[in-house]
């Protein structure tokens, strides 16, 4: 809603019973102040080294914990924000036979193509994929949502392409971690300095609101905290012990 549309007088507000949602802004937490670029620009630069630097602990442990998805019964999956095909390779290893990938960054898609786990790859926005309606029994979005200013279009697009009964698995960078550390998604650029990719803070309630509005219901929610396994591989993160770093939701239609 644009500011011009907002009710200005309490009496007028009474006539417009709209709940105004104020999302936390990443700027309120930023402790790094890195140069920041839009997602497409950032991932174009990061594509070459992405696989060496992304931490599988963000998502793989969570995916392995999920009880409500029978991966080897999936017939057709859409991987929205597929990147280099890292998550798709995991899905394929669990028996998912057909995976269509969508990503907005050509350089990430080039890497994904080399991986040969996708049935098709599409250069498109996760919120307007161009994929056929009512086609997939699994939709997956892994480590993408923090780059979206709004969640509703993502959940609506996932619902549009899903069959009845489909699962939508969304793994995200946990808002608590972003808030506690003031750390955006970032990578080391060619010039050697860290560069941040535009990061948005979405509370878990924002996910619930957007997903319910798109017709999803929550089947499972898991959270990964910084535990001994994490600290063993990244000693400096002992300071963040017990802070949740990522989460996985399974939504059903």
Binding residues (CB under 6 A) for ligand SAM: these are 39, 43, 54, 59, 81-83, 86-87, 103-105, 108, 125-126, 142-144, 147-148
Whole-angstrom Cα distance, residue 71 to residue 69? 6
Whole-angstrom Cα distance, residue 7 to residue 18? 9
Q: Are strands 77-80 and 35-37 parallel, antiparallel or unpaired?
A: unpaired
CB of residue 88 to ligand SAM, shortest distance in Å: 8
CB proximity list for 202: less than 8 A, separation 6 or greater: 23, 145, 146, 148, 151, 172, 175
CB of residue 76 to ligand SAM, shortest distance in Å: 18
Shorter beta-carbon distance to ligand SAM: residue 59 or 100: 59
Shorter beta-carbon distance to ligand SAM: residue 73 or 128: 128
CB 247 within 8 A of CB 221: yes
CB of residue 4 to ligand SAM, shortest distance in Å: 27
Shorter beta-carbon distance to ligand SAM: residue 87 or 162: 87
CB of residue 105 to ligand SAM, shortest distance in Å: 3
Shorter beta-carbon distance to ligand SAM: residue 35 or 150: 150
Whole-angstrom Cα distance, residue 91 to residue 83? 14
Measured from each CB, the residue nearest to ligand SAM is 83
In a 3-state reduction of DSSP, which class is residue 27? helix
Supply the DSSP symbol for 194.
E
CB of residue 38 to ligand SAM, shortest distance in Å: 9
């Amino acid at each position: 809603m644009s500011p011009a549309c907002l009710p200005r007088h309490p009496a007028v507000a009474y006539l417009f019973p709209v709940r105004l949602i104020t999302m936390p802004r990443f700027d309120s937490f930023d402790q790094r102040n890195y140069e920041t670029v839009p997602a497409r620009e950032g991932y174009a630069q990061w594509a070459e080294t992405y696989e060496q630097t992304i931490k599988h602990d963000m998502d793989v442990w969570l995916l392995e914990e999920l009880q409500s998805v029978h991966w080897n019964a999936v017939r057709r999956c859409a991987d929205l924000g597929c990147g280099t095909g890292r998550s798709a390779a995991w899905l394929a290893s669990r028996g998912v036979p057909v995976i269509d990938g969508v990503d907005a960054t050509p350089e990430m898609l080039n890497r994904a193509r080399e991986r040969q786990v996708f049935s098709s790859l599409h250069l498109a926005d996760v919120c307007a994929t161009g994929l056929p309606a009512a086609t997939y029994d699994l939709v997956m979005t892994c480590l993408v949502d923090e780059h979206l200013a709004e969640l509703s279009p993502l959940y609506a697009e996932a619902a549009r392409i899903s069959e009845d009964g489909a699962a939508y698995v969304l793994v995200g960078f946990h808002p608590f971690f972003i808030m506690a550390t003031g750390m955006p998604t970032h990578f080391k650029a060619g010039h050697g300095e860290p560069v941040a990719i535009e990061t948005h803070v979405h509370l878990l309630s924002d996910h619930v609101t957007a997903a319910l509005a798109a017709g999803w219901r929550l089947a499972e929610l898991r959270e990964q905290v910084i535990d001994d396994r994490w600290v063993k591989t990244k000693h400096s993160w002992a300071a963040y012990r017990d802070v949740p770093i990522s989460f996985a939701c399974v939504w059903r239609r």
